[in-house]
Structure 1
Amino acid sequence: MTLAAWLTIGLFVFTYLGMAAGGIRGLRIDRSWIACFAAVLLLVSGALSMQDAAHHLDPGALLLLLALMLISAQFDFSGVYAWLNRYLTEHAERPAVLLLGVVLLGGLLSAVLVNDIVAFALTPLLCRSLHLRGLEPRPFLLALALSCNAGSAASLIGNPQNILIGQAGGLDFWGYVAVAGPPALAAMAIVYAVIWLQWRHRWGEARPLIAGETAVELIHGARSYIKPLLASLALLALFATALPRELSALLIAVLVMVSRRVDSRDYVSKVDWNLLLLFVGLFLVSGAALQLPQLAQGAAWLAEHGLLPQGVISLATSSLVAGNLIGNVPFVVLLLGLMPELSHAVLIGLALMSTLAGNLLLIGSVVNLIVAEGAKRQGVRIGFVDYARSGVPVTLLSMTLAGLWLALGGWLPW
Structure 2
Amino acid sequence: MTLMGAAALLILILTYAGVAIGRVPGLRLDRAGIALLGGAAMIAIGALSLEDAYRAINFDTITLLLGMMIVVAHLKVSGAFRALGAVAIEHAHAPFMLLVMVTLLTGVLSAFLVNDAICLVMAPIVVHVTRVINRNPIPYLIATATASNCGSVATITGNPQNMVIGALSGISYPAFSAALAPVALFGLVAVIVIVRIVYRAEFARKAELSPEVYRGRMLPGQVLKAVVVCIGLAIAFFAGVPVAKAALIGGAILLVTRAIKPARIYREIDGPLLFMFAGLFIVVAGAEKTLLSPDIIASAKNLGLDDVWRLSGFTAVLSNIMSNVPAVLALRPFIPGLENPERAWLVVAMSSTLAGNFTLLGSVANLIVAEHARVSGTTLSFAAFFKVGLPLTLVTLLAGTAWLALGF
Structure 1 residue 142 corresponds to structure 2 residue 139: no
Match of 2:58 in 1: 58
* 8 A contact 2:89–2:102 mirrored in 1: no
* 8 A contact 1:320–1:360 mirrored in 2: no
Q: Distance in 2 between matches of 1:385 and 1:178?
A: 35
Match of 1:321 in 2: 317
SS of aligned partner of 1:382: coil
Letter in 1 for 2:287: A
Match of 1:310 in 2: 306
Taking the TM superposition and a 5 Å limit, the aligned residue runs for 1:109-128 are 109-128=109-128
Taking the TM superposition and a 5 Å limit, the aligned residue runs for 1:347-386 are 347-386=345-384
* 8 A contact 1:154–1:180 mirrored in 2: yes
Structure 1 residue 296 corresponds to structure 2 residue 296: no
TM-score, normalised relative to structure 1:
0.92
Q: Distance in 1 between matches of 2:300 and 2:143?
A: 38
Q: CA deviation at 1:41?
A: 2.3
Q: Distance in 1 between matches of 2:325 and 2:295?
A: 22
Q: Distance in 1 between matches of 2:89 and 2:240?
A: 42
Residues 154-202 of structure 1: CA deviation (Å, up to 9, x unaligned): 1011000101101111111111111111111001100010011111313
Letter in 2 for 1:82: R
Q: Distance in 1 between matches of 2:378 and 2:354?
A: 25
Match of 1:391 in 2: 389
Taking the TM superposition and a 5 Å limit, the aligned residue runs for 1:181-330 are 181-202=181-202, 215=214, 217-221=216-220, 224-292=222-290, 294-297=291-294, 299-305=296-302, 307=303, 309-330=305-326
Structure 1 residue 81 corresponds to structure 2 residue 87: no
Letter in 2 for 1:311: D
SS of aligned partner of 1:269: helix
> Which is worse superposed, 372-381 or 279-288?
372-381
Residues 203-261 of structure 1: CA deviation (Å, up to 9, x unaligned): 66768759xx762732444x543222211110111123453211111111111111221
Q: Distance in 1 between matches of 2:120 and 2:75?
A: 12
Aligned length: 405
> Which is worse superposed, 178-187 or 334-343?
334-343
* 8 A contact 1:92–1:133 mirrored in 2: no
* 8 A contact 1:183–1:405 mirrored in 2: yes
Structure 1 residues 78 and 302: alpha-carbon distance in aligned structure 2, compared to 1, 3 A threshold: same
Structure 1 residue 331 corresponds to structure 2 residue 340: no
Q: CA deviation at 1:92?
A: 4.8
Q: Structure 2: where are the runs of 5+ without partners?
A: none
SS of aligned partner of 2:293: helix
Match of 2:406 in 1: 408
Structure 1 residue 48 corresponds to structure 2 residue 48: yes
Q: Structure 1: where are the runs of 5+ without partners?
A: none
Letter in 2 for 1:198: V
Structure 1 residues 209 and 286: alpha-carbon distance in aligned structure 2, compared to 1, 3 A threshold: same
> Which is worse superposed, 256-265 or 197-206?
197-206
* 8 A contact 2:9–2:287 mirrored in 1: yes
Residues 327-347 of structure 1: CA deviation (Å, up to 9, x unaligned): 011000110133344521211
Identity across the alignment (%): 33
SS of aligned partner of 1:363: coil
Q: Distance in 2 between matches of 1:289 and 1:308?
A: 22
Letter in 2 for 1:317: G
TM-score, normalised relative to structure 2:
0.93
Letter in 1 for 2:280: L
Q: CA deviation at 1:36?
A: 1.5
Residues 264-284 of structure 1: CA deviation (Å, up to 9, x unaligned): 222222111121111111101
* 8 A contact 1:89–1:130 mirrored in 2: no
Residues 276-310 of structure 1: CA deviation (Å, up to 9, x unaligned): 11111110111101111x433563253242x1622
Residues 360-389 of structure 1: CA deviation (Å, up to 9, x unaligned): 111111111111112211211111111111
Structure 1 residues 64 and 381: alpha-carbon distance in aligned structure 2, compared to 1, 3 A threshold: same
Match of 1:7 in 2: 7
Q: Distance in 1 between matches of 2:343 and 2:316?
A: 19
Q: Distance in 2 between matches of 1:207 and 1:134?
A: 12
Structure 1 residues 125 and 298: alpha-carbon distance in aligned structure 2, compared to 1, 3 A threshold: farther
* 8 A contact 2:108–2:151 mirrored in 1: yes
* 8 A contact 1:143–1:192 mirrored in 2: yes
